[in-house]
Amino acid sequence: MTTKRFYKEPLSSLKTYYQELETVDKQCLWHPFTQMQEYVKQDPLIIVAGEGNYLIDIQGKRYLDGVSSLWVNVHGHNHPDINEAIISQVGRISHSTLLGTTNIPAIELSRRLVEITPPGLTKVFYSECGATSVEIGLKLAFQYWQQRDNPRPKKIKFAYLQNSYHGDTLGSVSVGGIELFHNLYQPLLPEHVCVPSPYCYRCFLSKNPDDCEMACFENVLSIVEARHEELAAFIIEPLVQGAAGMIVAPEGYLKKIREICDRFDILLIADEVAVGFGKTGRMFACEHESVSPDIMTMGKGITGGYLPLAATLATDEIYEAFLGKQEEFKTFFHGHTYTGNPVTCAAALANLDIFEKEQTMVHLQGKVTRLQELLTRCKSLKHVGDIRQKGFMVGIELVSDTKTKESYPYEEKVGIRVIQEARKHGLVIRPLGDVIVLMPPLSTTEDQLREIVDITVAAIKTVTEG
Ligand X SMILES: Cc1ncc(COP(=O)(O)O)c(C=O)c1O
Instruction: Please report, as ranges, the residues that interact with ligand X according to CB under 6 A.
Output: 129-131, 134, 165-167, 237, 242-243, 271, 273-274, 299
Q: Which is nearer to ligand X, 133 or 315 (CB)?
A: 133
Cα separation values, 26 from 10, 37, 45, 109, Å: 24, 10, 12, 39
* 193-212 CB burial, b ≥16 within 10 A, e <16: bbbbbbbbbeeeeeeeeeeb
Closest contact distance (angstroms) between CB of 73 and ligand X is 14
Q: Which is nearer to ligand X, 136 or 463 (CB)?
A: 136
Residue pair 374/66 in contact (Cβ under 8 Å)? The answer is no
Rounded to whole angstroms, the Cα distance separating 377 from 463 reads 17
Closest contact distance (angstroms) between CB of 432 and ligand X is 10
Closest contact distance (angstroms) between CB of 162 and ligand X is 14
Helix (H) or strand (E) holding 248: strand 247-248
Closest contact distance (angstroms) between CB of 370 and ligand X is 25
Residue pair 435/239 in contact (Cβ under 8 Å)? The answer is no
Q: Which residues are within 8 A (CB) of 388 and not within 5 positions of it... i.e. 6 or more apart?
A: 201, 245, 246, 247, 248, 394, 395, 396, 397
Q: Report which of 316, 280, 335 is spatially closest to residue 101, judged by C-alpha positions.
A: 335
Closest contact distance (angstroms) between CB of 72 and ligand X is 8
Q: Which is nearer to ligand X, 21 or 432 (CB)?
A: 432
Residue pair 257/222 in contact (Cβ under 8 Å)? The answer is no
Residue pair 307/343 in contact (Cβ under 8 Å)? The answer is yes
Output the furthest CA–CA distance in the chain (Å, rounded).
70
Q: Which is nearer to ligand X, 129 or 414 (CB)?
A: 129
Q: Which is nearer to ligand X, 341 or 464 (CB)?
A: 341
Closest contact distance (angstroms) between CB of 437 and ligand X is 11
Rounded to whole angstroms, the Cα distance separating 40 from 174 reads 31
Closest contact distance (angstroms) between CB of 426 and ligand X is 25
Closest contact distance (angstroms) between CB of 322 and ligand X is 23
Please give the residue whose beta carbon sits closest to ligand X in the complex: 130
Q: Which is nearer to ligand X, 157 or 166 (CB)?
A: 166
Closest contact distance (angstroms) between CB of 435 and ligand X is 14
> Which ranges constitute the DSSP H helices of 11-147?
18-28, 36-39, 68-71, 80-92, 104-116, 130-147
DSSP letter (8 states) at residue 52: B
Q: Which is nearer to ligand X, 437 or 453 (CB)?
A: 437
Q: Report which of 465, 439, 456, 416 is spatially closest to residue 41, judged by C-alpha positions.
A: 416
Cα separation values, 118 from 62, 71, 268, 292, Å: 39, 22, 13, 5
Rounded to whole angstroms, the Cα distance separating 162 from 164 reads 5
Q: Which is nearer to ligand X, 272 or 386 (CB)?
A: 272
Q: Which is nearer to ligand X, 196 or 308 (CB)?
A: 308
Closest contact distance (angstroms) between CB of 169 and ligand X is 8
Rounded to whole angstroms, the Cα distance separating 272 from 117 reads 11
Q: Which is nearer to ligand X, 269 or 321 (CB)?
A: 269
DSSP letter (8 states) at residue 126: E
Rounded to whole angstroms, the Cα distance separating 421 from 357 reads 37
